[in-house]
């Protein structure tokens, strides 16, 4: 409650100080619409989104990133530990995810209830999670509680209780989540099915939260072993942003973490997955389905794709915004769906590029064909300079919103360190967006987006109703949604 009051007060004060109603992105978009060359100087003349910050590396390998932001008496933090689902033991997908949640279910001399009560009593928040390539711990606390907050973070990471009873609750709840999603929200799982199908034996095929088959085979001993082998000081990045003096917070963090051991095993090593042949269909049968959820795509590009700005502009116009080509074709003009998107997964190695949507069972082929026509249109005629200018204004207006609060800034600088990127990745982005032209867009379309013949299809729906029709897209592999795995046998 105290934290909420502080944030609301800061918001109110900022509203009193600034009474302008200027909206540069709407102004730029309006100029584009009338054929006037927009002036993007209001974006380019802004202060850097990421100010200079301090980087300290401890003797045990922990990297500290410190950014003072004293406007609000709040400290935000983001901890990233290299590893994640790609380090899960063979046949035990979900181990990293179970550990991430278990970390906050008791640490130091506090059980799960006491630990949560202590965080809440400080008016703070603390969350944990696991992705493909990392574990994360994030949150915030009032600056006056810095010492206690750092102590809680150290307990969570260095002295987790890893209690068996809490572990079983988390594991069973995860299995129930998967079953519930299969029953009532299959759209939440279609990307997981697609990842398993497209990436096959690559580590990116592993579902970060596991599957019903792998989860029941994981015990508390597996999680404790994973913690010893894959979690440690040499994997850890700690980003802290907010109201503090750098020397003081470094002293606190050094005192708390300097004695921590390294991980017992090396990080797993892997290359990029290869693009797979198109003309393949994975059909997941859900007999009671009245809609078909579909994913079509292939292997894409990594976080380090050099034409980042042009790719962001292209994807926003193709399927990454409400006014996109896909949404306009499938939702606005045809009424076949409530939404259609293009998505880019860009981890450290090549990820995926895809089109996703859903439609009524009886319009499955009509919707998929229209999505394919829109993709072909992207390749053959693309979009014009007016549309490019409008999308520039949109992204230039939205991008800074991820750099407003202390926790947001901590997350951003932690990600830069994790990926080995310089601050210009953020601070020069607006300039790169403005400089991107139609030649850049055409180059990105050719390099990143598959042609329709090169697509792999994943569908969840009533197989009896659509099986014969969707066979025209390629060789069909079929599985039931009740199977305990996300990958066909």
Residue ranges per structural domain of the chain: 54-257, 280-480
Question: How many C-beta neighbours within 10 Å does residue 373 have?
Answer: 12
**Cα of 317 vs its chain's centroid, Å:** 20
Q: Rounded distance, CA 267 to CA 231, Å?
A: 10
- Please name the residues in contact with 168: beta carbons below 8 A apart, sequence gap of 6 or more: 220
pLDDT tens sequence for the chain (489 residues): 444 443 333 333 333 333 333 444 455 555 555 556 678 888 888 899 999 999 999 999 999 999 999 999 999 999 999 999 999 999 999 999 999 999 999 999 999 999 999 999 999 999 999 999 999 999 999 999 999 999 999 999 999 999 999 999 999 999 999 999 999 999 999 999 999 999 999 999 999 999 999 999 999 999 999 999 999 999 999 999 999 999 999 999 999 999 999 999 999 999 999 999 999 999 999 999 999 999 999 999 999 999 999 999 999 999 999 999 999 999 999 999 999 999 999 999 999 999 999 999 999 999 999 999 999 999 999 999 999 999 999 999 999 999 999 999 999 999 999 999 999 999 999 999 999 999 999 999 999 999 999 999 999 999 999 999 999 999 999 999 999 999 998
Which pLDDT does position 32 carry in this prediction? 55
What kind of fold does domain 54-257 have according to CATH? Cytochrome Bc1 Complex; Chain A, domain 1 (3.30.830)
Sheet holding 456-461, edge to edge: 340-345, 352-360, 291-299, 456-461, 280-285, 475-480
Which pLDDT does position 489 carry in this prediction? 86
Which pLDDT does position 28 carry in this prediction? 52
Question: How many C-beta neighbours within 10 Å does residue 370 have?
Answer: 21
Q: Rounded distance, CA 240 to CA 67, Å?
A: 6
Which pLDDT does position 279 carry in this prediction? 96
Q: Which of 342, 263, 289 is nearest to 99 (CA)?
A: 263
Q: Rounded distance, CA 86 to CA 266, Å?
A: 12
Q: Rounded distance, CA 431 to CA 174, Å?
A: 43
Sheet holding 125-130, edge to edge: 54-57, 63-68, 236-242, 74-82, 134-142, 125-130
Which pLDDT does position 277 carry in this prediction? 95
Q: What are the tokens at 486?
A: 């996300």
Which pLDDT does position 95 carry in this prediction? 98
Question: How many C-beta neighbours within 10 Å does residue 201 have?
Answer: 7
Q: Rounded distance, CA 43 to CA 370, Å?
A: 36
Which pLDDT does position 34 carry in this prediction? 57
Domain 280-480: top CATH class: alpha beta
Q: Which of 330, 296, 78 is nearest to 190 (CA)?
A: 296
**pLDDT tens-digit map of 217-251:** 999 999 999 999 999 999 999 999 999 999 999 99
Tally of residues, the chain: 489
Q: At what angle do helices 308-318 and 438-448 cross, to 10 degrees?
A: 80
Q: Name residue, tokens 């880019």.
A: 344
- Please name the residues in contact with 241: beta carbons below 8 A apart, sequence gap of 6 or more: 53, 66, 67, 68, 69, 75, 76, 77, 406, 407, 409, 410, 413
Which pLDDT does position 158 carry in this prediction? 98
Domain 54-257 identical in fold to domain 280-480: yes
Q: Rounded distance, CA 129 to CA 80, Å?
A: 10
**Cα of 125 vs its chain's centroid, Å:** 20
């Amino acid at each position: 409650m105290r934290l909420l009051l502080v944030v609301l007060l800061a918001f109110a004060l900022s509203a009193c100080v600034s009474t302008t109603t200027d909206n540069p992105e709407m102004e730029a978009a309006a100029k584009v619409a009338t054929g006037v060359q927009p002036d993007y100087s209001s974006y380019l003349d802004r202060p850097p989104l990421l100010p200079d910050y301090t980087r300290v590396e401890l003797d045990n390998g922990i990297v500290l990133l410190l950014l003072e932001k004293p406007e609000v008496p709040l400290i935000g933090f983001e901890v990233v530990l290299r590893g994640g689902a790609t380090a899960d033991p063979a046949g035990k997908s979900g181990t990293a995810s179970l550990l991430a949640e278990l970390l906050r279910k008791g640490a130091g001399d506090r059980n799960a209830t006491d630990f949560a009560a202590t965080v809440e009593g400080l008016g703070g928040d603390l969350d944990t999670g696991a992705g493909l390539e990392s574990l994360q711990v994030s949150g915030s606390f009032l600056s006056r509680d810095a010492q206690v907050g750092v102590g809680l973070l150290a307990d969570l990471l260095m002295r987790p209780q890893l209690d068996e009873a809490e572990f079983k609750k988390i594991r069973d709840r995860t299995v129930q989540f998967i079953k519930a999603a299969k029953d009532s929200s299959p759209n939440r799982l279609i990307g997981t099915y697609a990842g398993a199908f497209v990436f096959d034996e690559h580590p990116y095929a592993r579902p970060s939260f596991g599957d019903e088959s792998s989860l029941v085979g994981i015990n508390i001993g597996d999680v404790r072993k994973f913690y010893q082998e894959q979690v440690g000081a040499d994997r850890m990045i700690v980003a802290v942003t907010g109201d503090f003096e750098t020397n003081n917070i470094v002293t606190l963090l050094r005192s708390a973490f300097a004695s921590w051991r390294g991980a017992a095993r090396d990080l797993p090593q892997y290359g990029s997955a290869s693009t797979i042949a198109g003309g393949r269909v994975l059909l997941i049968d859900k007999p009671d389905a009245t809609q078909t959820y579909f994913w079509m795509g292939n292997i894409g590009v990594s976080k380090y794709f050099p034409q980042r700005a042009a790719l962001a502009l292209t994807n926003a116009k193709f399927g990454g915004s409400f006014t996109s080509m896909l949404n306009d074709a499938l939702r606005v003009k045809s009424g076949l769906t409530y939404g259609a998107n293009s998505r880019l997964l860009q981890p450290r190695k090549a990820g995926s590029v895809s089109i996703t949507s859903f439609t009524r069972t009886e319009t499955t082929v009509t919707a998929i064909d229209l999505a394919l026509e829109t993709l072909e249109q992207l390749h053959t005629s693309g979009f014009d300079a007016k549309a490019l200018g409008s999308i520039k204004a949109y992204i230039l207006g939205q991008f800074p919103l991820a750099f407003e609060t202390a926790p947001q800034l901590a997350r951003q600088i932690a990600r830069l360190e994790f990926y080995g990127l310089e601050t210009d990745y953020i601070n020069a982005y607006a300039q790169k967006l403005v400089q991107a032209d139609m030649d850049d867009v055409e180059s990105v379309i050719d390099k990143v987006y598959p042609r329709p013949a090169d697509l792999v299809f994943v569908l969840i729906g009533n197989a009896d109703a659509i099986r014969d029709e969707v066979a025209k897209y390629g060789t069909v592999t079929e599985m039931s949604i009740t199977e305990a795995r996300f990958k066909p046998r």
